[in-house]
């Protein structure tokens, strides 16, 4: 099998109503990705996610630097191709962010082709699942721009629908407001529901230490990304001194950075995101590294559950998966969640193929 064409795309899917966390206001979810065509008729879809800004830079990286390396190559040589892209010309420009997100999109598309050509869903192609269902937690009721009344209504409905875990955003200018919202949510959902909070990097070490200790009373499952994601030692200090586990990984872009976090004991739940590290190839390496330290994998999703469901199903130290349903309707085989659990997909591939009519409707490049 040979690759005949690789072309980038950018889709902007509306988010209704718009949402905010401590660093983003999102009216659309952006998919910056690639379709890779082969001489045997298989087409692979891969993408990374944005809040609908910066997409063009990712697409340009794919078209100008990665796509030319693929033409005429066998997609089953994915690890060789990964090395050529990772350590090629773009290595000198950047080893995280845009270059790695573009690499992730290409790598996911290659794995999609391999699974399709093998007539297996990706989770099966990767060696099989450890369970027929994946425990899910829901983030879609906890946005920072929700009023407290809307917040409590949404988290209550989420639990009533079968989810056993919820996550809300914090990072208000006044942490006392975060405290009040957390107190109200814990009271609304009861003591037996998993409850996480996500700071989205808004605190400094002193704020995180002070308010992390105050929030311990709400039996938090984890405190997510409290500090700048480059601050390994700050996160280590929090992990050492707080009685709340530290979760992070959505802004950690390669296995070497994860190695340093893990080696220093600065992360207790590893949220490696396949669309931000170098795709499936590097995600599997990070998962194996975390397993050797007995650290659970709980990927950051940002509505990238389509691909992550395969990885969590087939990874022994992956324990649960975030659920955000913004874009599930655009896929040929959308994610299915029943009673708070992902149901494994059945179609061959990585579940990344997009319905043609909706691809055309949302395409902006």
Give residue-wise pLDDT tens across range 310-331: 999 999 999 999 999 999 999 9
Measured over the CA atoms of residue 143, residue 16, residue 193 and residue 224, the dihedral's sign is: negative
Strand partners, 168: 197
Measured over the CA atoms of residue 138, residue 142, residue 148 and residue 153, the dihedral's sign is: negative
What is the structure's pLDDT at 90?
Answer: 83
pLDDT tens for residues 186-208? 999 999 999 999 999 999 999 99
Name the band, by pLDDT with cuts 50, 70 and 90, for residue 92: confident
Mean pLDDT of the chain: 97
What is the structure's pLDDT at 301?
Answer: 93
DSSP symbol at 144:
T
DSSP symbol at 363:
B
Range list for CATH 3.30.390.10 in the chain: 3-119+355-362
What is the structure's pLDDT at 198?
Answer: 98
**Residues designated catalytic:** 169, 300
- Report d(CA 192, CA 164) in Å as an integer: 8
What is the structure's pLDDT at 303?
Answer: 83
Name the band, by pLDDT with cuts 50, 70 and 90, for residue 222: very high
Name the band, by pLDDT with cuts 50, 70 and 90, for residue 182: very high
Q: What is the CATH number of domain 124-343?
A: 3.20.20.120
CATH fold group of domain 3-119+355-362: Enolase-like; domain 1 (3.30.390)
* pTM exceeds 0.85 for this model: yes
Residue 107 and residue 274 in contact, taking contact as beta carbons nearer than 8 Å: no
Coil, helix or strand at residue 166: strand
Range list for CATH 3.20.20.120 in the chain: 124-343
Average pLDDT, stretch 218-238? 98
What is the structure's pLDDT at 302?
Answer: 83
pLDDT tens for residues 118-156? 999 999 999 999 998 999 999 999 999 999 999 999 999
């Amino acid at each position: 099998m040979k690759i005949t064409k690789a072309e980038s795309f950018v889709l902007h899917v509306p988010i209704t109503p718009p949402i905010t966390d401590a660093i983003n206001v999102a009216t659309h979810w952006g998919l910056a990705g690639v379709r890779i065509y082969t001489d045997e008729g298989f087409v692979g879809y891969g993408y990374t996610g944005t809040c609908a800004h910066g997409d063009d830079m990712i697409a340009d990286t794919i078209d100008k630097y990665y796509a030319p390396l693929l033409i005429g190559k066998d997609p089953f040589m994915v690890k060789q191709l990964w090395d050529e892209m990772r350590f090629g010309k773009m290595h000198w420009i950047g080893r995280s962010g845009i270059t790695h997100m573009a690499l992730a999109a290409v790598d996911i598309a290659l794995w999609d082709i391999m699974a399709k050509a093998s007539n297996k869903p990706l989770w099966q192609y990767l060696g099989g699942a450890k369970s027929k269902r994946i425990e899910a937690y829901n983030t879609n009721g906890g946005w920072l721009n929700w009023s407290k009344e809307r917040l409590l209504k949404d988290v209550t409905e989420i639990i009533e629908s079968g989810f056993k875990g919820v996550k809300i955003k914090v990072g208000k200018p006044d942490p006392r407001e975060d405290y009040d919202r957390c107190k109200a949510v814990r009271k609304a959902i009861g003591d037996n529901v998993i409850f996480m909070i996500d700071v989205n990097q808004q605190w400094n070490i002193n704020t995180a230490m002070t308010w992390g200790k105050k929030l311990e009373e709400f039996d938090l499952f984890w405190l997510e990304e409290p500090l700048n994601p480059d601050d390994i030692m700050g996160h280590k200090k929090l992990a050492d001194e707080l009685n709340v586990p530290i979760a992070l990984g959505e802004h950690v872009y390669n296995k070497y950075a994860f190695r340093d976090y893990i080696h220093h004991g600065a992360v207790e739940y590893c949220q490696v995101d396949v669309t931000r590290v170098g795709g499936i190839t590097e995600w599997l390496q990070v998962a194996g590294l975390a397993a050797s330290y007995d650290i659970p994998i709980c990927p950051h999703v940002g509505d990238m559950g389509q691909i992550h469901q395969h990885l969590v199903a087939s990874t022994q130290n992956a324990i649960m998966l975030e659920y955000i349903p913004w874009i599930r309707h655009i896929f040929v085989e959308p994610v299915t969640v029943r009673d708070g659990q992902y149901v494994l997909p059945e179609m061959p591939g990585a579940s990344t193929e997009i319905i043609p009519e909706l691809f055309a409707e949302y395409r902006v490049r």
